[in-house]
């Protein structure tokens, strides 16, 4: 009986310590890493196209369409605004697509930044991953869609 009580006591101690609320995750928040102006440098699609008809195809439509631009401004007070030219990709036939700049839109709101992920709290955008001075929004769409948007800090 004494053995069972000792075993029960040891088991109880193990259970209590294994149920600790500290799961080891650390949340890193340093808004200064994202505060500033970010310019759109890439709008990537899955296959190279040549919409400017210069004889050189690219998967980065910013290289192909000078009208394609965007500026994302991240403020210290957890607000942001973005002016972005939309990309219009239309299937023509087979593997041919018409790609052109569409209208420009302005978005704004409040953001959350933690663990190198920027959440703009807007249904139009997924989280943007920070890697040094580059923010990448991965869309992962296949044509006729966009794989990713890439912004570089100025």
pLDDT beyond 60 at 4: no
120-150 pLDDT per residue, tens:
999 999 999 999 999 999 999 988 899 999 9
Q: Right CATH number for 31-153 from 1.10.3470, 1.10.760, 2.40.128, 1.20.1300?
A: 2.40.128
pLDDT reported for residue 143? 86
pLDDT reported for residue 28? 66
48 CA to centre of own chain:
22
Q: Global pTM?
A: 0.81
- Calculate the average pLDDT of the chain: 87
pLDDT beyond 50 at 50: yes
pLDDT reported for residue 9? 45
């Amino acid at each position: 009986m004494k053995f069972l009580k000792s075993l029960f006591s040891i088991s109880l101690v193990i259970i209590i310590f294994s149920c600790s609320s500290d799961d080891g995750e650390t949340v890193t928040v340093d808004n200064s890493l994202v505060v500033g102006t970010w310019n759109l440098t890439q709008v990537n699609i899955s296959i190279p196209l040549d919409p400017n008809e210069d004889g050189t195809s690219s998967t980065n439509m910013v290289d192909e369409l000078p009208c394609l631009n965007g500026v994302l401004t991240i403020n210290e007070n957890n607000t942001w605004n973005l002016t972005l030219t939309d990309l219009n990709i239309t299937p023509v036939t087979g593997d041919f697509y018409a790609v052109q700049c569409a209208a420009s839109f302005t978005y704004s709101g409040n953001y959350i930044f933690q663990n190198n992920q920027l959440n703009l709290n807007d249904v139009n955008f997924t989280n943007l991953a920070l890697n040094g001075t580059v923010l990448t929004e991965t869309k992962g769409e296949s044509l006729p869609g966009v794989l990713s948007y890439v912004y570089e800090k100025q």
